[in-house]
Each structure stands twice: as C-alpha cells, then as structure tokens.
Amino acid sequence: MTPWVGTNRLAGLSTLAVGLLGMAVVDYLGVAGPADPVYFVALVLAYVAVEAIPLQLPRGDVLYFGVGVATASLLIVHPANAVFAMILGLGLAATSSGSPVPARLWGKDLGRRLVALLLAATVHSQLVDSIAPGSSQLSALTPALLGGVTYAVLDLTWFSLSGSRALGETRLQSAFALFRMLGGLYLGQISVALAVAIVRPGLGSLGVVVLLTLMLLMQHSFGLLLKVRLSYTMTVTALAQLPELQDGGSRGHADRVAMLAVAVARRMGMRGSALERISLAALLHDIGNLGVEGSVGDDASSVALRGARLLESVSILADLAPVLAMQDGEAVRGAKEGDVLAANIVARCSAFADRLGAEYSESRARDALVAMSCDDPDDLVAAALDAVVESGALPGAWR
Amino acid sequence: MKVRLYSASVIAVAAMAITAILGSSQPLDLALIAVLGALSFLAEWLAFSIPYGGTVSLAFPMHFAAVLLGGPTAGMLVALMSSVSPQDIRARKGPLRLAFNAAQLSLAAALSGLVFVGLGGRPLLESGAGSLSSGLLGPALAAAAVQAFVNMSLVAVAMSLASGASLREVWTRSFSSYLISLLAMALLGLVFAQLVATAGYWSLVLLLVPFFVARQTFRVYEQQSEAYLATVKSLIEALEAKDPYTRGHSERVAEYAVGLARELALQESEIRRIEWAALLHDIGKIAISSQTLTKPSALTDAEFERIREHPLTAVHILQGIGFLADIIPMISAHHERADGTGYPYGLPSASVPAGAKILAVADAFDAMTSTRAYRPPMSYTAAIAELRSVSGAQLDADCVDAFVAWFEASVRADSVETSGDAA
C-alpha cells in the first residue's frame, strides 16, 4: 500500500466520523427531521458510485462529477441531510478506494462540492418559499432547476480556478473551455434530477433508483469518451516519439516542441481547434523519421516532407500534412488559412528545442533566442516565443 | 418458405387484433397516441450504437409507457407507429419483413396491456387510476415482462426458422443479455409513464435531454475510436516499412488473433483489446536496429538480448495510456511460453494472460508463413503442423486447437466463396 492510499483512507474515515457526528447533533437539535432511510442510503450510494466514475479531463486533472445527485438530494431530503449524504458518500468512497489522491487535494475537492451544495441549497430554499401553493409542476421545479444551475456554475468555476491550468491559459478561458466540454452533461444530469422530483410521489424509491442509475450511466459514457480522447492524444504522442527511440536517442523532444508551440500559439491569440492542430502538428513534426533508420541527421525539410506524405495516408491527420510540408516556409497545395503561421510556429519551436536539448537553462534559452532572432520587427512568432521564455513558465514544463 | 408462412401468420393475427380493438367502442386517447407515437418514431430514428455492440433506442420504453398510460389499444397503436424507421427504408427491407416487425411489436404491446389490465391495473391517465407505487407496480412489472418476452419470442422463432438453428440456441446466443437491457428499458418506461401522469407531456423533455446528450457522446466516441484505430494502423504500417520482411505483419497478426479470439467465443470487448494488442505487439522493436532484425545468420548473445527486451520496450512506450492499460500485459507477455521458459520473465502458463497466449499463436503463425531474410515462407499446411508440434510446450494447447479450427474453417469458407465466384 502506498503512503498516499493510507492517507486517503484516513481522510475518508475522518470524514465519515465527522458526518456521523454532525448527523447526531442535527438530529438532537431537531433541525432537519428524520430523513427517509431508503432515499438517504440511495443518495449515499449514488455518491459512492459517482466517485468510482471520475472524469479524466484533457488538461490532465480529474473531475469528480456529482451535480445530478446533489440536485436530486435537494429535492428528496432536507438540505441538512443532503449535506450529510454527500459527506458520508464521499467519505465512504475514500475509505474503500485505493486511489492515490493526496489527502490535501481530496479535502479541497470535498470542500468545493460542499460549498456548491450549500449555496445551491440556499438558492433552492429561498425560491421554494416564494412559490405559491397550487402552482404548476413547471413553476414548482424552478427552484430545483436554479439550485442545480447554481451548483453547476460554482462547481465548474471553482474547479477551473483551483485546478491545474495549461501553460498560459487564463482562468476565464479555462472555465469557458470546461463549460463547453461538460455543459451538456451538466444539463442532462440536472434534467434527470428534476425528473426525480416528479416521479418520486408516484413511483417512490424505484423511480429514484432508476433515475440515479441513469445519471451514473450518462456519466460513465461521458467518462469513456474523455478517456478515448485523452488516450488518442497520448498514443499519438507515444508514436510520435518512436523516431527518437529508433536511433537510440532519448524521448521527449516532440513533447517539448508541442508544449512550447501551444504556449506560443496561445500567446498569439489562438484558441480551441487551432491550438489542437498546432499541438498535433508539433508532436508529429519528426514523424517523417519513422521507419527510416539513421535519419536523425537528415535536414528538417526532407523529414517534414516525408512526414507530410505519411500523414496524408491517415484520414484524421491528413489535414495536418500541409503544416508539416510548409516548414521550410513555402506554401503548398491544400493548405488552409493559418497553416503557414502554424508551420512557422512549429518550425521555430522545434529549432529552439533542438538548441536547448533535454535540460532547460535560462542562459541557454537566451542564447537560443539571440541565435534565432531575425531583424523583422513584425515577426510575431519570435515576439511570442520571446514572451513565453520571459514568462518564466518553461523551466517547470520542460521535461 | 417456413419463414414466410410464419411471418404471414403473425401479421394476420396482429391485423385481426388491431381490427378488433379499433372496432370496439373503447374511446381512444388521440393526444397520447400522437405524442408517444411521434416520440417513439423519433427515438427509433435516432437510435445509436454503443461500444462493443448493441443499440439504444427509447422506442421500447415509449411503447411500454403507452401501455401503462392508455392500456392495450394505446400501446398497440404507438408500437405500430414506430415500427418502420427511416433506417429500415434506407436498408431496403422487404415489405414482408417490415410488416412482420410491425406485427410483432404491436402484438407484444397489446398482450402487455391485456396483462396489465387483467391483473387489476388501470391506465394511469384514467381518472382515479391511482399511482404505480400504490398497487399498480405489480401489474406493471408483469406487463413489462410479458412485453419483453413476447417481443423476443416472436423474433427468435423467425430467426430459428431462417437460420435452421434450434430455438433454444437462438435464444441463448442472441437474447439472454438482451433480456436484461429490455427489462431495464421497461423500468425507464415506468418512469416515462409516471412523468406524463404526474406532470403532463412536457415533462418527457427531462428524459429526452439526457438521451440526446448520451447519443451525441456515443457518436463522438465511435468517431474518435475509429480515428484512433486508423491512426495507429497507419503509423504501425509506416514503422514496419523499415523491414521488408515484416511489412504488414502486425495487421496480419491482428486478423489471426481476432479470428482465434472469436473461435474461443471471447466477449467483443476482449476481442477489441486483443486486436489493439496485436497491432502494437512489436512496437518495442523500434529500438532494435534493422541490421539485427534482418540478419540472415545466427544472432550474437548481445543481439539476442536486445530482441528479448522488445516486449518491455513496448511497455515503456505505452505505459500511462489509460485506454491501453488492459492490453499492456498482453504485449509484455506475448513471448512467454506454455512451459514457462519464455521471455522476458519466464512466467508459468497460469500467469500469462489469455490475450498474450492468443497473440503468441497468431504471431508464430505469421512469422512462419512470411518470408524471412534467412528462409523462405512455410506453406500453411507445414505451419499448422509446426504449431501442433509445439502445442503445450511453446504455445498454449487450447489456443493452438482453436486457431487450427478457425483457420481451416476460414480456408474452407474462402474456397467455397472462390468457387462460387468462378461459377
């Protein structure tokens, strides 16, 4: 057992103890009234299941997703019991899990979700009080809808602020990117939670269990998608590094060029799919060496042309071929708008990374910049590369 | 002929049932039939595939919800409305097949409704019907079971008549796992019915939103997975280009390994993993020089040591890729032997994953039947004989037997196809 696992278990047990103690106190004070044990246990188990389906985000960190269960809990138990269901569920999951998450990070994650739930509960209870008796089902669901949306917004915002951020990405961009990726899942889960409120009086615990299961299945399917996306990038990265291995070299050059090219492109204002294209093109810029033994010394443009021919045969990567083919600066047929710039960025970053090698040092970075400098004051790529180096973010990311 | 006769009988029974129901004085809830009929048609149209086989459609839950909300008549008509989808038209299914499908769906819904009402259930949209939790749940669950059973039985008989397989065999092979998903869909139908009964038709949106989210998710998943596989195949092809003797080796090993895995009746998810492992099994050879790989004479100890390292080099390259985590043990152990004297670890047979044993057989067969720098290719017959001679010592005996059975059946099928083409 690794030390982290032990720490995580301890955190889980402590959380369970705090949750049970809190429930006893609330029960003694008579604040929440007794929770229906079937619903309460269903919620606790749903949280345990949510913890077993983490969403591995492309930026590298993991989001534990519980907006549907949290919204449903506001609708079927008292807010105080909803909070305890979350605490016990997450505590139980941590106690039984072998996932090596440091206790400090786990505690922050629990805090994020508890705060989101408390604020959602506040919004929900304020609005419930304002609903006139006898209102339509649609009006009666509005508080829960807004409670769920509150949870989602807080959850996403906090996660994007506190989580790891890609080099040079602002917090707002990070939050927006997360919302674009996960918005549909949040909406779907809140919808199912609202359905729980409608079917519960008629179907009882069976309806609640069916819908909680539906939420978990939805989350699982989304987790699969994220996993295959992330694995695709990682596999292309691994395969892109093969030319480095075939001549007994060390791995990492392609990865460093990709990291640097993305930072430069972001500094130049590129976003979304344009950044993804730059990242893939940079990762694959030496793929022309694949299967060509003794090709490390070949000049960059012939390697790039071989790589472009290879990518032309891979349907999903074929549109990157012009980016590779233009690394010597000459336009080619089939190039899209922006490909010349992308090719320029990749070529410069590759040259910079070649000069630095595997070890980063400030002095060598400056020497490389001086050696690569050109006289054109309008050279935006050079200016962006300069700014990225000056930002001081590279030493930590150079691996 | 038997299938036609059977289909015609089912269609005739369904037609009589529809005529009888429409001719009765029972009032029809046209709004219910229109809304759920349209939604179930839409659901069938937008059905989507899920990884490792199967499709998801909300049509069945809609049919069942119609039964619970409006009784047998509503259920039957809603099922009828969604029985022909645009996909069926595009696939140019014959009129008899389309009519049979409509008939079996309508009959299943009608019988389900009769069971629901017969057991004391009252359609939920009737005033004073009560709720599913207060006494109607038992009849509803019985009706769900009947609908699923009738649906599958009518189709199973048709499949049995068409294929010549026994009814029991068809049922076990095709429907045992389907039954569970159908019952899960029936539970969703309960929820649909309760939503409409409590809050009206608008509330169905609450479950249609997650359906569309899931549909979009799985469509993107499928596209990404296909792109992923295509990319890896192309890059492996480029990698193998450096050695004219092994060009296309990984794709052929993948083909053999998939055939062998199917012969062993492994699950589709495991077969997909084995295919991936086969494509990537020799990726560690990237670190070995062409000179060594294509050397026509005996290898030195140092060269042989480099060769023995290639499974671990592959692990080093691929480790940390979540999607491939399950295939790494197959790759690392594909040169282990049944007698425990393989490399890199000399594992006993019991510790070698089944996927690695399959790869070993497929790899050995392709190696023997391909040209090498130091020898010409063996004939298929000689290679099969060689596989049998090392079965139990170098290669797993069960895998060798299954491979030989699959390969011989494939060769027979090919020769039948070829002679058919020639004719």
**CA-CA distance, A157 to A178, in Å (whole number)?**
9
B286, A184: Cβ pair inside 8 Å? no
CA pair distance A201, B133, nearest whole angstrom: 8
Inform me whether the C-beta atom of residue A334 falls under 8 Å from chain B C-beta atoms.
no
DSSP letter string, A28-94: HHTSS-PPPHHHHHHHHHHHHHHHTS-EE-TTS-EE---HHHHHHHHHHS-HHHHHHHHHHHHHHHH
Residue B114 backbone zone (phi > 0: left; psi -120 to 50: alpha; other: beta): alpha
Across chain B, mean pLDDT equals: 85
**Chain A: residue nearest B202 by CA?**
A138
Residue B122 pLDDT greater than 90, yes or no: no
Q: Do A218 and B205 touch (CB under 8 A)?
A: no
Contact B78, B38 (CB under 8 A): no
Q: Could you tell me which residues are beta bridge partners of residue A56?
A: A62
Tell me what pLDDT residue B11 has.
92
Task: Tell me, yes or no, if B180 comes closer than 8 A to chain A by beta carbon.
Answer: no
Buried b (16+ CB within 10 A) or exposed e, A354-387: eebeeebeeeebeebbeeeeeeeeeeebbebbbe
Interface predicted TM-score of the whole assembly (ipTM), two decimals: 0.70
Q: Are A204 and B133 in contact (CB under 8 A)?
A: yes
pLDDT given at position A7: 53
Mean pLDDT score, B245-273: 89
In this prediction, residue A323 carries a pLDDT of: 87
Residue A167: pLDDT band by 50, 70, 90 thresholds? Answer: very low
Single-letter amino acid code for the residue at B262: R
Residue where the block lists tokens 């009666």: A140
A170 part of contact set with chain B, CB < 8 Å: no
Q: Is B313 on the interface with A (CB under 8 A)?
A: yes
Residues of chain B contacting residue A290, judged by C-beta atoms under 8 Å apart: 235, 238-239
Chain A / chain B CB contacts < 8 angstroms: 176
Q: Which residue of B has its CA nearest to A145?
A: B206
At B106, the amino acid letter reads: S
Kindly report the three-state secondary structure assignment for every residue of B159-214: HHHHHCCCHHHHHHHHHHHHHHHHHHHHHHHHHHHHHHHHHCHHHHHHHHHHHHHH
Is residue B132 over pLDDT 80?
no
pLDDT of B217 higher than 70: yes
Q: Nearest C-alpha of chain B: how many angstroms from A43?
A: 18
Q: Hey, which residues 111-150 in chain A have their CB within 8 Å of chain B?
A: 137-138
How large is the average pLDDT for residues B309-330? 86
Of A65, A66, A85, nearest in space to A77 by CA: A85
- DSSP state string for A270-283: --HHHHHHHHHHHH
Q: Is B302 on the interface with A (CB under 8 A)?
A: no
Reported confidence tier of residue B372, pLDDT bands at 50, 70, 90? confident
Chain A positions in Cβ-Cβ contact with residue B205 (cut-off 8 Å): 191
Q: Any CB–CB contact under 8 A between A296 and chain B?
A: no
**B151 in A contact zone (CB under 8 Å):** no
Is residue A59's pLDDT more than 70?
no
Radius of gyration of chain A, Cα coordinates, nearest whole angstrom: 26
d(CA A93, CA A106): 11
CB B361 within 8 A of CB A271: no
Spatial contact of B190 and B140, defined as CB atoms under 8 Å apart: yes
| pLDDT, greater one: A131 or B15 | B15
Give the separation between CA B120 and CA B117, rounded to whole angstroms.
Answer: 5
Interface of B with A in 236-295 (CB under 8 A): 237-242, 283, 286-287, 289-290
How far apart (Å, rounded) are the C-alpha atoms in residues B419 and B413?
A: 10
Given a cut of 70, whether residue B146 has pLDDT beyond it is yes
The pTM of this model reads 0.72
**pLDDT for B423:** 39
**Predicted confidence band at A166 (pLDDT cuts at 50, 70, 90)?**
very low
Q: Of B99, B56, B108, B54, which Cα lies nearest the Cα of B78?
A: B108
Question: CB-CB: which of B191, B216, B287 is closest to A199?
Answer: B191
* B341-346: long-range pairs with CB below 8 Å, 24+: B342/B394, B343/B308, B343/B311, B344/B308, B344/B309, B344/B311, B344/B312
Q: Where are the alpha helices (DSSP H) in B264-348?
A: 268-280, 290-293, 301-318, 328-332
Interface of A with B in 44-83 (CB under 8 A): 56
Region B246-273: mean pLDDT is: 90
Packing angle of the helix pair A171-240, A253-267 (nearest 10 deg): 150
